[in-house]
Amino acid sequence: MAETLLFNALREAIDEEMARDPSVLVMGEDVGHYGGSYKVTKDLYEKYGELRLLDTPIAENSFTGMAVGAAMTGLRPIIEGMNMGFLLLAFNQISNNAGMLRYTSGGNFKIPMVIRGPGGVGRQLGAEHSQRLETYFQAVPGLKIVACSTPYNAKGLLKAAIRDDNPVLFFEHVLLYNLKEDLPSGEYICPLNKAEIVRPGKDVTILTYSRMRYHCLQAVKTLEKEGFDPELIDLISLKPLDFDTIGESIKKTHRVVIVEEGMKTGGIAAELIASINDRFFDELDAPVIRLSSQDIPTPYNGTLENLTIVQPPQIVEAVKKITGKQF
């Protein structure tokens, strides 16, 4: 076991997969000589050379389209978005090309590519640098969407994503890069389609992902002191959603609170509520509660920024409301 920062866990995954498979390459702005905006590809340029760590122009639509073509011809490109918000410039290439070409070609082409990078509400990065693109892409057919949340799952999920024959959107949170965790010395892979039960419980199911995992953990500490027994689930896989794990939890707790950093309108929570009502309505003892960010551009002001996203006290109050318990 070795203590590893999350950004280094991602770097280890890329390094190991590049060493294992010569078809794996990385492209994006400053991924080579500079080592990436958050140092996820630091020093890999010296090890693998400029053709496998390709510094691109500031043209997301162009190099994402190039990556789709590379994937079609047998390579396994990893796209780094310097900030995931910039990849809105490549929405066409990701949706119409990466997501659909395997289907529209009648299965003649596979698109084994990973699109990864930092996103989420940071510390005063402003509206354009605080995007949560999972809500934009969830409706696109053909994409897998994953949100890592710990150094352990970051490494295992990224290795699995690189080996997958389908396009994977791999979301990292800008405020989680410096998380530390002891990682196994041997190789391991995490499944792309499984949620993680962070804390088992029986009173209520809390569904969350990415940075909100830690806001929920803070809330859980308070709830435990007050006599509550919540079950906390990190979704990890946002497309497809792991309804086996979600369903088993709902059948036990009969109550659901969803906590997301994404916007409320059209968000992951909205899809979850619709699907839970479709699949498990008879198991619910109360309407599902969702806690989401406000539908406004993220303010630059730090105090206002915090007010737009869900905070632990709101999670505590939601659990008390849905359980009807006041200890």
Taking the C-alpha atoms of residue 249 and residue 196, their distance in angstroms, rounded to an integer, is 11
> Active-site residue among 12, 17, 80, 129?
129
Of residues 17, 60, 134, 231, which has the active-site annotation? 60
CA 116 – CA 167 distance, rounded (Å): 11
How long is the chain? Answer: 327
**Are 123 and 154 spatial neighbours (Cβ–Cβ below 8 Å)?**
no
Q: How far apart are CA 86 and CA 253, in angstroms?
A: 40
CA distances from 150 to 12, 42, 198, 247 (A): 14, 20, 11, 24
16 noted as active-site residue: no
- CA angle, residues 237, 238, 242, in degrees to nearest 5: 55
Question: Residue 145 is which amino acid?
Answer: I
Burial class (CB in 10 A: 0-12, 13-18, 19+), 69: middle
Torsion angles phi and psi, residue 87, rounded to 5 = -75, -5
Based on the residue annotation, tell me whether 60 is a catalytic residue of this protein.
Answer: yes
- Specify the residue for token string 């949706």: 95
Q: What's the CA gap between 273 and 92, in Å, rounded? A: 28
Alpha helices in the chain (DSSP H): 6-20, 44-48, 60-72, 91-92, 101-104, 134-137, 151-163, 212-225, 243-253, 268-280, 302-308, 312-323
- Name the residues annotated as catalytic: 60, 129
